[in-house]
Structure 1
Amino acid sequence: MRKQILKFNVLVAVLVLVIVVSLGFTSTKKTEENVHNINRVTKPLAYSVSLEDEDVEDIIRTPFLGKSFNGFKEALAFKESRGDYFTVNPLGYMGKYQFGASTLKTIGVSSSSDFLNNPELQERAFIANLERNKWVLRKDIEWYVGRVFNGVKVTESGILAAAHLAGPGNVKRYLRTHGVSGFADANGASVRYYMRKFSGYDVSHVKANKAARI
């Protein structure tokens, strides 16, 4: 009788061990599948912009920050330089936001080398230029936001992004001619393109400042 009980106990122990090992294997397999699924990119990490006319590499590599001000700032920087503080393009535009020397002088930066090697200074320059452009375009923001020119809805962030590209004077002409007077840089980027690409970000806290300087 004792031998039968012992055999029964051994059989139960073996059965329990088989079940535990089986469950452990299944759990590990599911964990591996979950990790694989987490790392799989199923949708572009974009800034809520259309794929039309977009560089596919931009969309795949751009981090998602939504429509916040940081989203606006980093999306614009990524488009300008892939976010590289220390780059200079063939036309001499510098840094993360690709500033020209004349614009830097306007906002109080006299040394291009100091600017290029100082990320904090570049961030301050971006804000100062943004504030100055908003002051120059304050009436146009009031008059034209919400209207549609060349199939693109005008937004404040789109206006400010286009001003970073083309200068506030060119954006003013574009808006006041209802999109007839255009502008494109050496790479073919236009006021319309920037207004579409950077539409709808929250730039409401940016102050219009005529005297914005570093």
Structure 2
Amino acid sequence: MLKKITNYFVIPFAICVGLYLALFPKTTVDMSIFSTAGLELNYTVSEDIALLSTNEVTPQQTTYNRYFPYLGKSYLGFKEALAFKESRGNYFTVNDLGYLGKYQFGAETLKLLGVYNPEYFLYTPELQEKAFLANSERNKWILRKDIARFVGKEIHGVTITESGILAAAHLAGPGSVKKFLRSSGGDNFSDAYGTSISSYMKRFSGYDTSFIKPNKTAKANL
């Protein structure tokens, strides 16, 4: 009797399994589409985290893709946010006024940083990263007294922060930032595209820029 009852369950089950295998053959999942190869996922490194190394890049390449996790208000977050505003993070772009690269440097500023070959600069992402840091260090030295004096104060509804000051100096130069701060916002320089110092002060406020050390003679050297 037990054998008959078992047959009632085993036979239908075997039939169902056979139908399933016939209708839904085994498929192989291509795991390569989930690969993390090529992604920069290790951010536990030395202070050179700010100076991102690159693979070899040739002048024929027109894009340079990087992938970042959420960067928040870190130094990396600061420079990547500023780069996105300047060029959408494109190392190889030149705007209508001749400003170069990811951070849109002018030729005269590059000379101050020890860079005399704009074409080489344009196609060398690592040099662009070093130039950004060197320029920020130089600006921080020039504006060190103004940073100490004005950070935490409010000008035209904008709370002044160190990162806002450094971003505005990247836009307009440290001299224009001094004029803005010391005139209580009365001298509010705007660039050729209508972007003002005060807008950069607000947009890039509150980032941690303590990584940037004041350096009067900072240069961009590979």
Which of the five TM-score ranges fits, normalised by the shorter chain?
0.7 to 0.9
> 1:180 pairs with 175, 186, 194, which one?
186
Residue 152 of structure 2 is aligned with which of 137, 146, 150? 146
* Identical counterparts, % of pairs: 62
Q: Which of 90, 99, 102 is 1:93 aligned to?
A: 99
5+ residue gaps, structure 2 = 18-67
Residues 90-140 of structure 1: CA deviation (Å, up to 9, x unaligned):
000001100001111111111111111111111111111001000110000
Q: Report what 1:27 is aligned to.
A: none
Partner of 2:132: 126
Match for residue 158 of structure 1?
Answer: 164
- Please list the CA deviations of residues 14-65 of structure 1 after superposition, one character each: whole Å capped at 9, or x if unmatched: 8x97xxxxxxxxxxxxxxxxxxxxxxxxxxxxxxxxxxxxxxxxxxxx9742
Distance 2:149 2:3 in 1: 96
Q: TM-score, normalised by structure 1?
A: 0.74
Does residue 83 of the first structure (1) align with residue 89 of the second (2)? Answer: yes
Aligned-residue offset at 1:178: 1.0
Q: Distance in 2 between matches of 1:2 and 1:70?
A: 72
1:5 shift after superposition: 1.7
Distance 1:5 1:211, change over 3 A: same
SS at match of 1:196: helix
Partner of 2:9: 9
RMSD, aligned α-carbons: 2.6
Q: Which aligned segments of 4 or more residues in structure 1 are displaced greater than 4 angstroms?
A: 11-14
Q: How does 1:94-109 map to 2 (within 5 A)?
A: 94-109=100-115
Q: Which has the higher helix share?
A: 1
CA distance in structure 2 between the aligned counterparts of 1:185 and 1:90, rounded to whole angstroms:
13
Alpha-carbon shift at residue 11 of structure 1 (Å): 8.1
